[in-house]
Amino acid sequence: MRSRPQDKNTDFKMSSKAMARLMMGTCVLAAILFIFFLGSDTPSAAAQNQPIAFSHRLHGGRLKLDCQFCHFYASRSSSAGVPSVRHCMRCHDQVESKSPEVQKLREQWEKRESISWTRIYDLPDHVVFSHQKHVQAEVACAHCHGKVENMETVVRLQDEFTMGWCIQCHREKSASLECLSCHL
C-alpha cells in the first residue's frame, strides 16, 4: 500500500542551537499575538453587525433551548440552516413582542422579507461538510462552534477551520480519512 501524505512521519532533525532560536522566536510571536487578542474583546468585528441583536446567551444559555430547536435541519441535511422568520415568530408573536429587536423581526415578517444575517462560519468551496453526518456521529455542536450559549453574539471558535484541525479529530474518533469524504 502506498502511503498517503497524512500517514507520513516526517523525520525532522535540527541542531539544538537552531531549535533554541526558533523557540525563542515562537515565544515572542505568541506573546505579541496574545497581547493583540487580549486588547480586542470582540474578536470578530463582523459579529456586531447582525441586523437584529439576537442573543445566543439568552436563548441557548438562560432559556436552555437546544441548538436544534432553531437549527433543526442539522440532523436532516448537510446544512444546519438559519431559522426562518416564521420560526422566530412562532414564539415572538407573543413573547417579548414589545422589545425593539423583536419589533424589527415582526417588521420583516409582516413585509414577508428575509433577514440577511452576517455569516460567521464558512468553508472553502472545495470542501463538503455535512452537519447531518456529524450529528449522527454524536459530535457535540460545541466541539466546532464552542460554547455558543455563553456568547452574546457568536464568535468563531477557530480562526480558520483548517484541514489539519478537521483531520486531528477524524483521527481521534477513527472517522474517515478518505479524501473524498470531504473533497468532491
Partner 1 sequence: MPELPPLKKTGTFNEIDRRNFLSFMLASGTAAMVGCATQGPSAVLVSNVNPPEEWIPGKSVYYASVCRECPAGCGLHVCNRDGRVTKVEGNPHHPVNRGTLCARGQASLQGLYNPDRLKTPLQRSGSGQLEPSAWKETIDTLAAALSELGPQRDASSLVFFSDILGPSFSALVGKWMETIGGGRLIQHEACGYEFLKAANRFTFDREEVPGFSLENARFILSLGSDFLETWLSPVEFSSAFSRFKEYQQGRIGRLVQIESRCSLTGANADDWLLIQPGTEPILVLALIHIILAEKLGRVGQEDLARIESLAAPFNAEKASEITGISSDVIYDLARSFAHERPSLALFGGVSSISGKATLTQAAVNLLNYVVGNIGETVLYGADLYPARLNSYRDVLQLIDEMNAGKVNVLVIHRSNPAYDLPFTSGFQSALEKVPLVVVLSPHLSETAARADLVLPIHTPLEAWDDYSPREGVWGLQQPTMRPLLDTRHAGDLLLQVANQLSPRKDDSPLPQNYYQFLRERWRELQARERPDLEFESFWNLAATGGGVWKDFSSQPVSLSPSLGDIQVRDLLSSETVQSQELTLIPYSSVFNYDGRGSNSAWLQELPQSLTEVVWDSCVEIHPETAQKLGLKQGDVARLRSEYGEILLPVYVQRWIHPDAVAVPLGQGHTHFGRYANGRGANVASLLNPAAEAGSGGLPWLSVNVQVQKANARHQLVTTRGELSQGQRQIAQTISLNQMQKFFRTGESEGSGNHETANLYPPHQHPAHQWGMAIDLNACTGCKACVVACYAENNNPVVGKDQVARGREMSWIRVESYAEPGPLPGYTFLPVLCQHCHHAPCEGVCPVFATYHNPEGLNAMVYNRCVGTRYCANNCPYKARRFNFHEPEFPSALDRQLNPHVTVRIAGVMEKCTFCVQRIVEAKQQAEKEGRNLMDGEVMPACAQTCPTRAIVFGDLNDRESLVSKRSRDPRAYHLLEHLGTRPAITYLKKIRL
Residues in touch with partner 1 (CB under 8 A):
1-2, 4-5, 73, 76-86, 108-109, 112-119, 121-126, 128-133, 136, 178-181, 183-184
Residue among 37 and 121 whose Cβ is closer to partner 1: 121
Q: How far is the CB of 30 from partner 1 (least distance, A)?
A: 28
CA distance linking residue 142 with residue 146, whole number of Å: 4
Residue among 1 and 35 whose Cβ is closer to partner 1: 1
Rg over alpha carbons for the chain, rounded to the nearest Å, is: 21
Q: How far is the CB of 20 from partner 1 (least distance, A)?
A: 33
As to burial, measured by CB atoms within 10 angstroms (0-12 exposed, 13-18 middle, 19+ buried), residue 18 is: exposed
Q: How far is the CB of 176 from partner 1 (least distance, A)?
A: 9
In the block, cell 455563553 appears at: 150
Residue among 15 and 174 whose Cβ is closer to partner 1: 174
88 membership: H or E segment, kind and range: helix 85-92
Q: H/E/C letters for each residue in 17-41?
A: HHHHHHHHHHHHHHHHHHHHHHHCC
Residue among 41 and 138 whose Cβ is closer to partner 1: 138
Q: How far is the CB of 92 from partner 1 (least distance, A)?
A: 14
Q: How far is the CB of 112 from partner 1 (least distance, A)?
A: 5
Residue among 26 and 77 whose Cβ is closer to partner 1: 77
CA distance linking residue 110 with residue 98, whole number of Å: 15
